[in-house]
Structure 1
Amino acid sequence: MSTALITGASSGIGAIYARRLAARGNDLVLVARATDRLEALASELREANGISVEVITADLTNASQLQTVLERLRSDPMIDILVNNAGAALVGNFASAEPEKMDALLSLNVVAPTLLTSAVISKMVARGNGSIINIASVLALLPEYSHGIYAATKAYVLTLSQSLAAEVSGKGVYVQAVLPAATRTEIYERAGGDISKVPDVMEVEALVDAALVGFDRRELITIPPVPEVEAWEAFEHARGVLAAGFSNSEPAQRYKSS
């Protein structure tokens, strides 16, 4: 029986991951700030699935509380699946954003998943198996659609996933980046937004179920709302074509003076 650690597990995407992975027979370590919600979910999952569920109350923007989670990742029983789901948004544009709020967002969306992954990856490589699931966003590919730094933080998560996969996939460790579009979670309300004004919102259960299909297929990038995989393949092909020019030792002709 494997063990999955899920951050942001008290609601939304994290809670559905907990229910789905519990139904698959995984023991769980649930991490979030809301102790009451975590304990209620843990009791539900123990009773329904006969599994072990640990609860860690932690605010991942707090260095000492993050350290508690890092220590659990380094300890036994070992973690076989890490779901880096905890995240937040920040409504407003870059020019008007408060530095303290940007710092907190970077801590949660960038620093925390980086350090959590770092804490578990060496053990996964050593034993030749393990999985990292990183929840990014389609805005990682469309930064001009999102003001402020949120899209940039999710672009980091996507790039981290791709570079990490290049490093460890040949060593038995699977990395998946999940890119949701608009999904019905509490992130909008917590950021001060209104989800009722957002069109074409996906239900969280549908999002996670689709992401787990991608997980079972061992996809590196899973984008649940995109109808045709060929669209992503064309994007990747175009990226490769662009990269073919990176090795040129001279500037392109169009950058030379006439």
Structure 2
Amino acid sequence: MSSSPTIGTALVTGASSGIGAVYADRLARRGHDLLLVARNAARLEELAVRLRAETGRAVEILPADLQQPADVARVAQRLREDARIRLLVNNAGVAVAGSATAADPARLDAMVQLNTVAAMRLAVAAGAAFKARGGGVLVNIASVLGLAPEMFNAVYAATKAFMLVLSQGLAAELRDSGVRVQAVLPGATRTAIWEGAGTSVDALPPEMVMEVDEMVDAALAGLDAGELVTIPSLPDVGDWSKLDAARLALGPNLSRNRAADRYRAGARAA
């Protein structure tokens, strides 16, 4: 197993199951001590006991509900103050399936609070803390739906687009600081998030669904390769490179002192 770019304590959110639990397992085997964050303290402790026994690493649990601002503030404070923490896997999230316009607004609010507000608070706290420590790794779990919002609930897709853009912006801000940023964009992955969203992953074609172990292993390979954006299922990384290059090519024309001719011509005709 490869070593992570920066060895130290890894804080993993949403660590009680699914993607977070597999990250915890893999990072412990790479030599990291762990600080595991999730709501379910019993599941966290069960995972911690297993990983201590199997890897010999120090594993601490920090039960927290990241839909509650006070708990987010508590975890962010730990990121800022605990100099041992050198890696954050910003993974906690929920989904809502179906039409956004027909969804319960309270469920959408709760999803935005966890997927964007809490994730942003932790990412910013980690970025500032790692910069002050001279290095660290910030891994933000986004989704391919941030690139394909037509395929699922619009608000969920928007929260994942937020995570991608946040990662790109923080990577630019933290360039040359010793802090690495990675956005991971999984496709459909077999985890319990589907049940919580009110749908079943088994409704998708099997060829679209990746097992969680394979997804996390691919994401870590992307981290080892120095990728800013990792899309585990994308066969040709050049496709992402072309998309990103096209985005950057828009830059000189995104903000100018005159409207484009096609809009000015229309105004004169009116």
Structure 1 gap ranges (5+): none
Please list the CA deviations of residues 178-222 of structure 1 after superposition, one character each: whole Å capped at 9, or x if unmatched.
000000010001111111101220010000000001111111000
Q: Is the 8 A contact 1:97 1:148 kept in 2?
A: no
- The count of corresponding residues between Structure 1 and Structure 2 is 258
2:19 paired with 1:18: no
Matches within 5 A, 1:165-244: 165-199=171-205, 200-244=208-252
- TM-score, scaled relative to structure 1: 0.96
State the Cα deviation string for residues 34-65 of structure 1 (Å, max 9, x = none). Answer: 11111111011111111111101111001222
Match of 1:52 among 47, 58, 76: 58
Could you tell me whether the CA contact under 8 Å between 2:183 and 2:229 is conserved in 1? yes
Instruction: Note if contact 1:61-1:108 (Cα within 8 Å) is conserved in structure 2.
Output: yes
3-state SS of paired residue (1:171): coil
C-alpha change, 1:214 and 1:225, in structure 2 (3 Å) is same
SS state of the match for residue 83, structure 1? strand
Question: Secondary structure at the residue paired with 1:169?
Answer: coil
> Following the alignment from structure 1 to structure 2, what is the Cα–Cα distance between the partners of residues 144 and 242?
23
The one-letter code sitting in structure 2 at the alignment partner of 1:237 is A
Task: Report the Cα distance in structure 1 between the residues aligned to 2:74 and 2:242, rounded to whole angstroms.
Answer: 42
Q: How is 1:1-258 mapped onto 2 (pairs within 5 angstroms)?
A: 1-199=7-205, 200-255=208-263, 256-257=265-266, 258=269
User: Is the deviation greater in 131-140 or in 30-39?
Assistant: 30-39
CA contact (8 A) 2:126 2:138 kept: no
- Secondary structure at 1:234 match in 2: helix
User: How far apart, in 1, do the equivalents of 2:129 and 2:251 lie?
Assistant: 33
Q: Which amino acid aligns with 1:176?
A: Q
Matched letter for residue 243 of structure 1: G
Secondary structure in structure 2 of the residue aligned to 1:170: coil
Q: Per-residue deviation at 1:143?
A: 1.0
Q: Which moved more, 1:237-246 or 1:134-143?
A: 237-246
Instruction: State the SS of the aligned residue for 1:61.
Output: coil
Mapped contact 1:134–1:178 kept (Cα < 8 A): yes
- How far apart are the structure 2 equivalents of 1:116 and 1:78? 16
Q: Which runs of 5+ in 2 are unaligned?
A: 1-6
Cα distance between partner residues in 2 of 1:245 and 1:57: 47
Q: Match of 1:149, SS?
A: helix
Residue 158 of structure 1, CA deviation: 0.4
Counterpart Cα distance in 1 of 2:149 and 2:235: 21
Asked whether the 8 Å contact 1:90–1:148 carries over to 2, the reply is no
| Counterpart residue type for residue 187 of structure 1 | I
Decide whether the 8 Å contact of 1:110 with 1:153 is kept in 2: yes
Q: CA deviation at 1:94?
A: 2.0
**RMSD, aligned CA:** 1.3
- What is the CA–CA distance in structure 2 between the aligned matches of 1:175 and 1:13, rounded to whole Å? 18
